Amino acid sequence: MNSKSRWQLALSLITCLLIMISISVIRSQKIFGHEFSQQPETEFNEPQRTLNDGTVVISTHDMTKDIMGYAGPIPLEIEIKDGIITSIKAMRNSETPSFLRRVEQSQVFKQWIGLNIEEALKTKVDAVSGATLSSEAVITGIQRGLQYAQSAQVDKVHSINKLFNIKTISALMVVLLAAILPLFIRSSRYRTIQLILNIVVLGFWSGSFISYSLMMNYLSNGVQIWGAIVPLIMLFVVVVYPLFGKSNYYCNWICPLGSLQELVGKCTSKKYNPSPFWYKTLNYFRQGLWALLMIFMWCGVLFSWMDYELFTAFMFEQASWIVLSLATLFVALSLFVGRPYCRFVCPTGSLFKIYQKNK
């Protein structure tokens, strides 16, 4: 690739970034954690206040800005009366509603109710299966709030600690394999192995993939590098590899949803190839869908569509029935048409194609 082409890609990248930043500001009034609007008068962000009946209310708003759920921090209000925890609730946040709802419906909040601060700090609470990131953010937030209430120094649990667990290490190894080995190895057998690893480890086990929701989270709230090491490597591949002639590399070699469609497609030898007319029509549909969704978000509406990207089907315990049904449909279609969701629908992929100047 010559320098002129690289400059064109760089300008395309800047354009896409400006598009995403503008949507992030419209959606959350924040960019990289900096807030552009005042909080509503009904919401209190002071670390501690006392109600008329003597109840002490701890707000974790400023204590947990570095703790990310799936789509952003989850600030909490903890009410303590006569030394006993009486209530814990989530404040205004940008977390994916279905994920947070699963945490709220679990026993996570209830396990601290009725305990004094010392007992609560000794309580070990497990993350909620199917909403791991959200529940871990809530649990850590409660612990910090209680530490503050106990007038102890709040020891921030840095995101680097998340790096040292088997799930993250496994995901890191798989994404590095996918990012490096295919540059040197040309083997259909190896490709099949990589597809399986992407699906099992990146998809179903660790839930690691790039989506609009993830990118909005990073743009709105900033990035804790070590806690987000796997998605950041994926984004590096998306941004840097096309500069060296490797367009669509993430979609072809790393994305777990694309890998699942391709692997299922290997079960049949014959595929239906759309005629040039239908191929062009479906391609226009994908481009038009992406443009329509962007217009809606620029108008400040319909941000919830991001919760329905099919990537969340890998987190099947909390994914909506709509997502699961659509994911099943497109995976079934991949028996007859190569990667149908990737080629004709995916909004995240459409954004990448704009940057990479691919139709």
**What would the pLDDT profile of 14-35 be if each residue is shown by its tens digit?**
989 998 999 888 887 878 777 7
Integer CA distances (angstroms), 308 to 32, 53, 303, in order: 24, 43, 10
Q: In whole angstroms, what is the distance from residue 308 CA to residue 306 CA? A: 5
**Does pLDDT of 43 surpass 60?**
no
CATH, range 48-157: 3.90.1010
> Would you say residue 348 has pLDDT above 90?
yes
Would you say residue 289 has pLDDT above 90? Answer: yes
**In 3D, which of 240, 195, 235 has the Cα closest to residue 348?**
235
Coil, strand or helix: which one is 198? Answer: helix
**56 close to 149: Cβ distance less than 8 angstroms:** yes
Highest mean pLDDT among 13-22, 28-37, 106-115, 157-166: 13-22
Enter the tokens of residue 8: 């064109």
- As a whole number of angstroms, the distance between CA 133 and CA 111 comes to 18
End-to-end CA distance of the chain: 18
Query: What confidence score (pLDDT) does residue 270 get?
Result: 84
CATH 3.90.1010 domain extents, the chain: 48-157
Give the residues across from 58 on adjacent strands.
Answer: 48, 78
Closest to 178 measured CA to CA, from 250, 125, 127:
250
Q: How much is the average pLDDT of 128-155?
A: 74
**50 strand-pairing partners:** 56
181: its two tokens: 């080995």
Nearest to 77 by CA among 141, 125, 122: 141
Q: pLDDT over 90 for what percent of the chain?
A: 40
Over residues 181-191, the mean pLDDT reads: 93
Which stretch of DSSP H or E encloses residue 78?
A: strand 76-81
DSSP 3-state of 287? helix
Instruction: Provide the b/e sequence for 22-37 (b: ≥16 CB within 10 Å).
Output: ebbbebbebbeeeeee
Angle, vertex CA 132, rays to CA 293 and CA 311, nearest 5 = 30
Enter the tokens of residue 217: 């989270």
pLDDT digits (tens, 9 = 90+) for 236-255: 999 999 989 898 999 999 99
Distance CA 58, CA 44 (A): 10
Handedness of CA 16, 20, 26, 31 (dihedral sign): negative
53-57, 145-149, 211-215, 312-316 — most confident range: 211-215
Hey, CA dihedral for 145, 215, 178, 261, is it positive or negative? positive
pLDDT the model gives residue 155: 43
88-116 average pLDDT score = 83
> How far is Cα 70 from Cα 118, in angstroms, rounded to an integer?
29
pTM confidence score: 0.75
Query: Is residue 158 predicted with pLDDT exceeding 70?
Result: no
Question: Given a cut of 70, is residue 153 above it in pLDDT?
Answer: no
